[in-house]
Amino acid sequence: MSDEAAPPPHFIRHVVEDDLRTDKWGGRVVTRFPPEPNGYLHIGHSKAICLNFGLAADFGGTCHLRFDDTNPTKENVEYVESIKADIRWLGFDWGPHEYYASDYFEQLYQWAEELIRRGLAYVDDLSADEIRAYRGTLTEPGRESPYRTRSVEESLDLFRRMRAGEFEDGARVLRAKIDMASPNVNMRDPTLYRIRRTPHHRTGDAWSIYPMYDYAHPLSDSIERVTHSICTLEYADHRPLYDWLCEALGIYHPQQIEFARLNLPYTVMSKRKLLALVEDGRVAGWDDPRMPTISGFRRRGYTPEAIRRFCERVGVARTDGMVDVALLEHAVREDLNKVAPRAMAVLRPIRLVLENYPEGQVEEMEAVNNPEDPAMGTRRVPFSRVLYIERDDFREDPPKKYFRLAPGAEVRLRYAYLVRCTGVVKDPATGEVVEVRATYDPASRGGDAPDGRKVRGTIHWVSVAHAVQAEVRLYDHLFTAADPAAAEDFKASLNPHSLETVTAWVEPALAGAAPGSRWQFERTGYFCVDPVDSTPRRPVFNRTVALRDSWAKVERA
């Protein structure tokens, strides 16, 4: 499957196609992505972004970016800017269609007065706790507020004074007058407006009352003449209210359609929880590469192509489920395999001394930059008598089928020579192997012996005298529990080993690697130069993903 392939059909596409066929919306397709600017976007949002922008693009429509900024206590401009940057990075463009629910505050207010005049809304003086108590339960009907029957004039007067800032936060609310006995709790006179004498990041202190999401959302959709208002399944129970509001006001009425949220295991995907991790210093910020945020994935080295392809493959379902992380990792490997230049880096080094290699001699070995793409050419890597290899690539007591270095065993040094281990040097105090000794076969330059003897193992290396020290960050799941949110305290299952930092040695060409550039370190994975902490003096590499591809195995099986 490639980006160019036709997107797989799903039920929302079918709805849009049917609507075009029956001319339900006069040939228009208008979708929207409506984030609340109270945090950074996460990978779940990217599914909604790909879906909404993708449908608009596929059917010649438009997709609006609308900030649902109705709660001034939690929202700010940093979040607005990060959301825009992340959507652009994913490859989508809203053109001139950047909207804010706060731009509609006056119209929303006027409609609220209209509902009062029509006898469909009232000001309630019950406290929040009382309203909750009166609401009833799933099995018991609610009770009507004593204020429900107050006159239109009185409600109008109180509502205007709420707006004017005459009352304390929480003193009163505006509620829709629907049905306290409705089996759907959302229809039991839902709150439409509450008092919040808090300045707003866009409207300043113009407002003392703010609309609830369930009120602002459908009416914003209506103002923008959205055709398909696509949201996640938990809003299915709110759809009757969405429809009721449009009908009660007799205004343009978009169609709400629900789809399943994207969930990934071993992480959390609620902005409130992600914010708690940031505020408690459990991670280095919203863009910490362990975070499931779009900015975290970007800093970790994911490509927008990989995330888009992942979202496409996940598909659009009508029931919630978990998606295997391997599917996401597969998408990024697939992409980076084609584009990431190869390099050699030793993450956990041990010295390898070639006893018969002349002291002071340096050879430039020709190395392929990307076997998948000959156009990426070759480079020269300095080789000398003393090298670093991975500690793991040597075993004093090798298990069966261990084809790397061991006393007496022969191995191929990538792009260089065959070498045979002659012994080790140990730390006399601890007995630990601190150096591996070997001889090289000068006739095997390039990696093949003239006598045709078979050597199965190939390992990577760097020359000690030429290598550059780098910090390498290796990541594991942020949580040890598959569903951390299921526990009372989701932080209880934070993985103490989610970040491991090692001091590695990398080939000299990597010293100048551009921040954000992506590489494959032979045999150890894909890495990205950290755009924040890396310096030419001390490059920092984040491991995007290891090379092992469990998904490919699953697919083959």
Residues serving a catalytic function are 36, 261, 271
Among 174-182, 269-277, 305-313, 339-347, the segment contacting ligand ATP (CB under 6 A):
269-277
Distance between CA 208 and CA 162 in Å, rounded?
7
Distance between CA 500 and CA 472 in Å, rounded?
8
For the CB of residue 35, give the shortest distance to ligand ATP in the complex, in Å: 4
Which x/- pattern over 249-268 shows residues binding ligand ATP (rule: CB under 6 A)?
Answer: ------------xx------
Report the residue number, 101 or 367, with the smaller CB distance to ligand ATP.
101
439, 422 Cβ separation under 8 angstroms: yes
List the interface residues with ligand ATP, window 214-253 (CB under 6 A).
231-232
Indicate if the alpha-carbon torsion angle 200, 205, 209, 211 is positive or negative: negative
The token pair at 493 is 């299952």
Distance between CA 172 and CA 299 in Å, rounded?
46
Report the residue number, 154 or 280, with the smaller CB distance to ligand ATP.
280
Distance between CA 70 and CA 468 in Å, rounded?
51
- Give whole-number Cα distances, 413 to 197, 281, 405, 433, 449, in Å: 69, 43, 10, 20, 12
Distance between CA 23 and CA 13 in Å, rounded?
15
Which x/- pattern over 40-59 shows residues binding ligand ATP (rule: CB under 6 A)?
Answer: ----xx-xx-----------
Q: What per-residue string of b and e applies to 72-100 under the rule 16 or more CB within 10 Å gives b? A: beebeeebbebbbebbeebebebeeeebb
Identify the residue among 16, 30, 31, 35 touching ligand ATP (CB under 6 A). 35
Does residue number 269 form part of the binding site for ligand ATP (CB under 6 A)?
Answer: yes
Among 30-38, 176-184, 300-308, 321-329, the segment contacting ligand ATP (CB under 6 A):
30-38
List the interface residues with ligand ATP, window 141-180 (CB under 6 A).
none
Q: What region, left, alpha or beta, does residue 213 occupy, with left being phi > 0 and alpha being psi -120 to 50 degrees?
A: alpha
For the CB of residue 390, give the shortest distance to ligand ATP in the complex, in Å: 38
Sheet hosting strand 410-413, strand order edge to edge: 458-459, 410-413, 418-426, 433-440, 349-354, 386-390, 462-463
Does residue number 271 form part of the binding site for ligand ATP (CB under 6 A)?
Answer: yes
Which x/- pattern over 101-120 shows residues binding ligand ATP (rule: CB under 6 A)?
Answer: --------------------
Report the residue number, 269 or 464, with the smaller CB distance to ligand ATP.
269
For the CB of residue 47, give the shortest distance to ligand ATP in the complex, in Å: 4
Give ∠ CA 382-384-387 in degrees, rounded to 5.
Answer: 95
Does residue number 184 form part of the binding site for ligand ATP (CB under 6 A)?
Answer: no
Does residue number 187 form part of the binding site for ligand ATP (CB under 6 A)?
Answer: no
For the CB of residue 228, give the shortest distance to ligand ATP in the complex, in Å: 12
Report the residue number, 33 or 383, with the smaller CB distance to ligand ATP.
33
DSSP string spanning 295-306? HHHHHHT--HHH
Identify the residue among 30, 31, 34, 100 touching ligand ATP (CB under 6 A). 34
Distance between CA 345 and CA 507 in Å, rounded?
6
Report the residue number, 357 or 479, with the smaller CB distance to ligand ATP.
479
For the CB of residue 260, give the shortest distance to ligand ATP in the complex, in Å: 8
**Paired sense of beta strands 363-368 and 525-529, if any:** unpaired
Does residue number 191 form part of the binding site for ligand ATP (CB under 6 A)?
Answer: no
For the CB of residue 166, give the shortest distance to ligand ATP in the complex, in Å: 31
Residues in touch with ligand ATP (CB under 6 A): 34-36, 44-45, 47-48, 231-232, 261-262, 269-271
